[in-house]
Amino acid sequence: METIQPLGRTSFGNEANKGNVLSKEEALDLLYSWVPNERLRLHMKQVAGVMQAWALEKEGLPETEAYKWWLAGLLHDADWEKYPNDHCRIIIEELEKRNIDPSVIQCIASHGPRHFGVEPQSTMDKMIYAIDELSGFIHAAALIRPNRYEGMDVKSIQKKLKTPSFAAQVSREDITDAVNKAGIALEDLVKFVIEKQKDINI
């Protein structure tokens, strides 16, 4: 991801569009038309599911607000496969054209501060940053286990995080930075991600 260019701005969308979202059908249509890679689609669905669960269970948000978390999670990597050098820029422009709630667009722009130059501000921003890398890492760990997620524990993930050769493309620095920014304990988030994404497999 080192070839990604910073977005060059820190404000996204229009406040006049607050509350505007894609329907679930529209969001999934966009996902399937923009992302041919099934593994990437699964990652995006897993991030979306964990984001929505966190919003509902940890933040106590109503369904309508939690849906925005789901939507941001689902579409955060929508342009990664087709436009790797313009990752984030293309999906942001698409959602701005569709007059989507700025908080959703801002959240997507915040999922990789080191790459996009956008620091997470809201709780939703901070959580997509924290959940994104960790979700992918935990799924990679599940894929090499005979029983996948069944019986997976927090300690095994923490041990793998300390093994640089495992899922080497996942930045440990980003994970540490993200959980610090979110003000949560790494082990608590690992436990939550394991529990919530184990059943998201299609």
Residue pair 128/76 in contact by the 8 Å Cβ criterion: yes
Amino acid 5: pLDDT: 84
Amino acid 30: pLDDT: 97
Amino acid 1: pLDDT: 43
| CATH value at residue 118 | 1.10.3210
Q: Is residue 152 part of a domain?
A: yes
Q: Is residue 109 part of a domain?
A: yes
Q: Is residue 7 part of a domain?
A: no
pLDDT in tens, 123-171: 999 999 999 999 999 999 999 999 999 999 999 999 999 999 999 999 9
DSSP 63-114: HHHHHHHHHHHHHTTTTTTT-GGGTTHHHHHHHHHTT--HHHHHHHHTS-HH
Q: Is residue 1 part of a domain?
A: no
Amino acid 8: pLDDT: 93
Could you list the residue range(s) of the whole structural domain that residue 52 is in?
17-197
Q: How many domains does the chain have?
A: 1
